[in-house]
Chain A
Amino acid sequence: MDTIGKIERHFKALQENLNGSAGNAWRKLRREAFEAFTANGFPKMKDEEYKYTHIGKVIEKKFDFSGLASPTAEATLEKRPVFHDADAWHVFIDNGKSVDGSLPEKTGEGLEITTLREAAINHPELMEKHLGRHADVHKDPFTALNTAFSHEGVFIRVRKNATIGKPIILHYTDGGSGADIIQTRNLIIIEDGATANIIESFTSAMEKERFSNHVSEISVGAQARLNYYKLQNQDKEIYQVDNTVIAQARDSYAQSFVVTLEGRIVRNNLHFLLEDENTETHLFGLYVAHGQTHVDNHTVVDHQLPHCYSNEIYKGILDNKSKGVFNGKIFVQPHAQKTNAFQSNKNILLTDEASIYTKPQLEIWADDVSCSHGCTTGQLDEEQLFYLRSRGINKSKARAMLLHAFVNDILDKIDIDFLHDYINEEMYKRLD
């Protein structure tokens, strides 16, 4: 049976299985997503959006999709992921399912962390309003595939005007079950006036070929504030697609950090929907790739209404035979006058075999706007290297100092200490 055929069989089994459980709307969403997925299947090599990252073909060829419909959380939490002891709200997700008993209780008035299934029972109206409403199944086949099989996942809600001081960490592990396809999904709602810091931490190392297909939908309410961090530091065997959509309401503030340190192929689609006036958005990205790693960051900042500000800085260091792709789209819709949108992508290639394909893409339909973009790609500066060495600093240390200086402006903006220090250390390990 071909891959799509297999997927169809699993899909039918899943729908059958979930028959009678809560959430008719969700059921419909799954069906719509499934149809969207099967209409085109995995992205082809000539697909504009996946032209430089042929992950669709690889995945179709490599994996057999047998575990698709039945995520099982098998982690016993014995092998603790990094930061497990940080002062934070912890959520452990294994193979796409939150680990039983691991969800923090007693989170207090302002914070609710539960499963999507529970949420479908307790908050059907919120689920209907948000689930699948931000991450459009017609826009990306991986979003469609994820949505078609969505039935587990995490639901986080920060209530109106609540300020959650401690960061909320979503730890994604892929335990002992040996599943080779892991679909993870969550819905995060930051209500009006609320503040939260959320970390998605993908750090398990299994050294086994597997495909991780992740979707995060985040709604940031009016005057709400979100600091959002994504850390991708798994092993070099993982194929990872991440679709994250952040929708911002009026006067809200959101800041994202996407840090990629490991993986075989990593494709990130980060999509900001600026749906109302006077929002502020910062997108920071850092990728340090080595070996055969292929890192692709596609970002979209969609300015829909006036007076919104966005600023994007992505920086990459590419070593050995690694490849980088950066595609940054900025849309300024006809109503979005007085938009300020900036973008920059800077890269350092450490070898002749490393490469980067970078493309800014500005589509501006309003006239009173201020937008700029720029990208640079270069080697380490020989003059600077010589200067440091001429003062007695050895070559490898001098190199590390310069690379560190290159990424420092972004790194220093991460003001959660344990996260900052971990990334710093992991990066140094690779650069020294």
Chain B
Amino acid sequence: MLSVKNLHAGIEGQAILKGIDLEVKPGEVHAIMGPNGSGKSTFASVLAGREEYEVTEGEVTFLGKNLLEMAPEDRAREGLFLAFQYPVEIAGVSTTNFLRTAVNQIREYRGQEPLDAVRFLKHIKEKLALVEMDPKLLSRSLNEGFSGGEKKKNEIFQMAVLEPKLAILDETDSGLDIDALRIVAKGVNKLKSPDNATILVTHYQRLLDYIVPDYVHVLYKGRIVKSGGKDLALELEERGYDWIKEEVAAG
């Protein structure tokens, strides 16, 4: 589904990603962990198409297509979704209006009829229930004045509405209380299918208790320096990153 080969990227001549390789197949859950500043969000942003990052080397194919050549909106239309670590606030754009525009532009791209207001509302009501989000938030400006937890829930809600093939969740668990975490995890698990895949960027094992990963990768200084099964996350929780940093230093 997603194949990343030797990906190098940076900003203003400063290298951040220094050769990332990653293969994700349908049905899989991958966790990416790693110390602060190691490049996890940059990796997620490059996949989603943030233009300020320059890809200097490597290739990425998504469902057989060259991802790096696509505009951000086309990546979304092809089925890629990024839940942002820091979702932006957009005053004056209501969540409903925003999502309906998104849904219908995606449908148009796929040659489907637009959803009328009634069918759209029905569609989002189901998804709202899934993430137990307050419907009142829908009529408010997008993320404006939302609490940290509400913003994160809103990301998962959008994911549920857009039904992506590959979802990348960048620290969606950070800042969530235990109940919210459980709800978000439940939402993600509900949406899991043999046809789609998830990449979880996280610092904490507690999310992985709910969403069990098939693979765990450690990103450090712009590279995946270690990969393993779900036990690797438990080991990191116990021992921290120093031993990995030492391994890297020792070559």
Contacts and interface: CB of A to CB of B under 8 A. Distances in A.
A384 B90 contact: yes
A392 B87 contact: no
Interface stretch (B70-78, B114-122, B125-133, B177-185): B70-78
Contact of A386 (B50, B101, B102): B50
Interface string B101-116: 1110110010000000
A63 B102 CA distance: 51
A387 B76 contact: no
Given A395-B71, A401-B101, A389 B76 contact: yes
Nearest to B97: A401
A376 interface: no
Contacts of B49: 386, 389-390
A391 B158 contact: yes
Contact of B90 (A395, A402, A409): A402
Given A388-B98, A391-B98, A408-B92, A397 B72 contact: no
A397 B50 CA distance: 17
A394 B105 contact: yes
A406 interface: yes
B4 interface: no
B77 A392 contact: yes
A288 to B, nearest CB: 15
Nearest to B84: A387
Interface string B66-86: 000001110111000110100
A393 B101 CA distance: 7
A215 to B, nearest CB: 35
Contacts of B109: 392
Contact of A401 (B84, B88, B98): B98
B72 A405 contact: no
A401 to B, nearest CB: 6
A387 B105 contact: no
A386 B90 contact: no
B93 interface: yes
Interface in A372-431: 381-384, 386-395, 397-398, 401-402, 404-406, 408-409
A394 B98 CA distance: 12
Nearest to B102: A391
Most buried by A among B81, B88, B103, B106: B88
A392 B50 contact: no
B162 interface: yes
A406 B92 contact: yes
Nearest to B45: A386
B155 to A, nearest CB: 10
Nearest to B87: A387
Given A382-B52, A401-B101, A387 B90 contact: yes
A214 to B, nearest CB: 32
Contacts of B87: 387
B91 A405 contact: yes
A387 B72 CA distance: 9
A301 to B, nearest CB: 26
Contacts of A409: 92
B48 interface: yes
B73 A401 contact: no
Contacts of B162: 391-392
Contacts of B50: 386
Contacts of B81: 390
Nearest to A408: B92
A390 B92 contact: no
A383 B82 contact: no
Nearest to A404: B92
B73 A392 contact: yes
B90 A405 contact: yes
B88 A389 contact: no
B73 A394 contact: yes
B101 A397 contact: yes
Most buried by B among A389, A404, A406: A389
A337 B103 CA distance: 54
Nearest to B82: A390
A409 B91 CA distance: 10
Contacts of B98: 388, 391, 393, 401
Most buried by B among A391, A395, A408: A391
B90 A390 contact: no
Most buried by A among B75, B77, B101, B158: B101
B88 A393 contact: no
A33 B87 CA distance: 59
A390 B48 contact: yes
A405 B101 CA distance: 14
B148 to A, nearest CB: 17
B210 to A, nearest CB: 25
Contacts of B77: 392
Nearest to B109: A392
Contacts of A389: 49, 71-73, 76
A297 to B, nearest CB: 22
Contacts of B51: 386
Contacts of A406: 92
Given A386-B50, A387-B87, A393 B92 contact: no
Contacts of A402: 90, 93
Interface in B30-72: 48-52, 71-72
28 contacts: A384-B90, A386-B49, A386-B50, A387-B87, A387-B88, A388-B93, A389-B49, A389-B72, A389-B76, A390-B48, A390-B49, A390-B75, A390-B76, A390-B81, A391-B73, A392-B76, A392-B103, A392-B109, A393-B98, A393-B101, A394-B71, A394-B73, A397-B101, A397-B105, A404-B92, A405-B90, A405-B93, A405-B141
Given A387-B87, A393-B73, 20 more contacts: A383-B88, A384-B88, A386-B49, A387-B88, A387-B90, A389-B72, A389-B76, A390-B49, A391-B76, A391-B98, A392-B73, A392-B77, A394-B71, A397-B105, A398-B73, A401-B98, A402-B90, A402-B93, A405-B90, A405-B141
